[in-house]
Each structure stands twice: as structure tokens, then as C-alpha cells.
Structure 1
Amino acid sequence: MVFAHDVELSLQSAVVLANSALDPVTISTVEELSDFYRKHHFSGRHDRDAAERDAVLALRAEFRTLLTASREDAVGLVNRMLAEEQALPQLMRHDEFDWHLHAVSPDAPWATRFRVELAMAMIDVIRGDEMSRLGVCGDDECEGVVLDLSRNRSRRFCSTTCGNRNAVAAYRARQAGA
């Protein structure tokens, strides 16, 4: 299944945020969070202060739980998130993006918008029965979230680092056995 562009962006940014809490922590300052905002094409209100940083970073655990949940558990999480934020889906067009869904005002706090955007994206994942596109890194020493958007569903690792580490270990194991 090919997801709409806004769904892919929401999923990708949520995975990056969820994984940013792993060692080494990759987002901890207001500046790092502002870089994340720009890199992931967010729009709307962006306060660039410690309160916003704390609110967005507080989403990491909830996002990880949702992104690694079973399909049935994800439904309850998505419904709760949308209800808590009083989401009202509407079609929007802005910047370089064609029509897509937003469910809260662009003036709402970024953490609220991010939370609702992920919940809306997960609706497509759940309805398309594509939960297998989300999982945990195949590296035994890593707990990163993996988003597999590959055509053949072959992505196993959360990062190039984990993939390379496993490829090197497999190579060394083959060499030792030869």
C-alpha cells in the first residue's frame, strides 16, 4: 500500500521523535527541536521555547507505544488521542502540499498538532491493515522503532548504523566459520 504524502510525513516524523529518546539522545534542546520542525515540514504555530520542547518531547513514549502496538490496541489509542484533542478533520492546502487532512487549528500548540497528525496517519495504517509496516529494530541491542515503506517490506533496522553493525557481525561470523 502506498500512503498519502502527509501520512508518510507524519509517520516518519513520529518514528524519529520516538527514537530520539534512545541512547544517544538526538533531540534535547530547543534548537534541535526547531531543526526537527523544519526538517520534517511542520506548519503552523512554533513557539521555539522550553515549554514547547517539553510538551513535544513528552510525546515520545506515547508515540512509541502507538507505533509498536497491535492493530487492536492501536485503535483504542488513536480514538483516545483524537477525542482528547477534540479533533475535527478538515481538508487543507498550504505551502507546497496539495489537499490533505488537518484536524486541529494551525494555531494549536505544536504538541497537539503533532499528536493529532500521528493519530490521523495511523487511521490509514489501521484501515489498510498495514501495521506490519511498523515494528522494533532487528538489532538485538536496539529498541528503535522501524517504519518500513519499502515496496517489498524488507526493512529490518531503524538506522543505517544498526544495519551496518549487523552486516559486519554476520560477515565476521561467516569468516569465523570458514
Structure 2
Amino acid sequence: MNINQKEFDVNRLRYVIRSAKVEDGKSLAKVRLQIDGETENMDRKPGEAYIDELGFRQLIQEDTISKSNLFLVAEVNGKIAGFSRCEGNSLKRTAHKVEFGIAVLKEFWGHGIGKNLLQQSIDWADNNGIKKISLSVLETNEKAIILYKKYGFEVEGRLKNDKFLSDGKFYDTLVMGRLV
């Protein structure tokens, strides 16, 4: 599904949030690989579960026609600075919910891109009959957890020792949800 493009100006950074286009495939492959190397908050190390340009193009095409999927990008001066995705399904028992994921390049942290991608996704969900948004977040990602709680997400569970990080320790993943 698509949304109308919105412009933002936060901390002297102008950007737009818009629906992903198939032409974004190449840039998204590079951005995702870079983000995976910038933080351990993501599920992957750089190169793991790699999605190439063609893979992103197919994903965007499918999401554009799906009523239960939304793929957004944040763009700064023609460059993708981050993206988010809501993925639903057509199973009758779970068609009311979507899984939310987000990624923002480190150089653009602190400009509200994550917050605005989240807000646009929530607005879309609320206006399209989605009753629940679920997400997973690493227990150490305190800024994200605070943001999610601010937008009505609650901790629904904890996956113990779910992630093994570079410091040689295991960390929990929080499962959070927002009900309409």
C-alpha cells in the first residue's frame, strides 16, 4: 500500500517520508547493509540475510499492491536515510495485525526520522483497519523502547538470551505490541 509523501524539518535537517518505489531497490540494498554494520540493535551482522536490488524491487512491488503491507523510506536530498516496513498477511486469524521493523543510518540519528517513520506507520495502520502492530527490540536499545512506549506500545514478552553480541554476552529481546 502507499501513503502520501510528507515533508519534515527537524534540527535543521529537511527530509521526506514516502512510500518506497521499485527504483529504490539498489539504494535500499546498500543502506540496509550499511545499517547492519553501524549498530548491534539489528538482527543481522553485515551481509547476513542479504537482500539485493532485485529482492528489494520484488518486495516493494508486493508491498505496493498488498493492503496489509507498508514500505516507507526517509529521503534526505535524494538519498535514503532510513526505512520502515509493516508486514501483514491474509490469514483470517491474524489479518488484523502487522509486524513493524525500522532502520535509520547512524549519521541521521537525532532528527526524528525513526519517530516520524513510526508515526506514519501508525497513522496508516489506524486508517486501514489494522488492530495491532507488533515489533521486537533489543533490551539495551533504551531510546527505541522509550519511543515505542510513548506511542502506546507495551511489553508483551521477553525472549531470554535471544541475541549474542560482540561483547560475548547474551541479551534479551523485548516483544512489544500496540493495540488500537
- Give me the TM-score of the superposition, normalised by structure 1: 0.28
Give the strand-richer structure, 1 or 2.
Answer: 2
Greater relative contact order (CA < 8 Å, ≥ 6 in sequence): 1
Bigger radius of gyration: 1
> Relative to total residues, which structure has the larger helix share, 1 or 2?
1
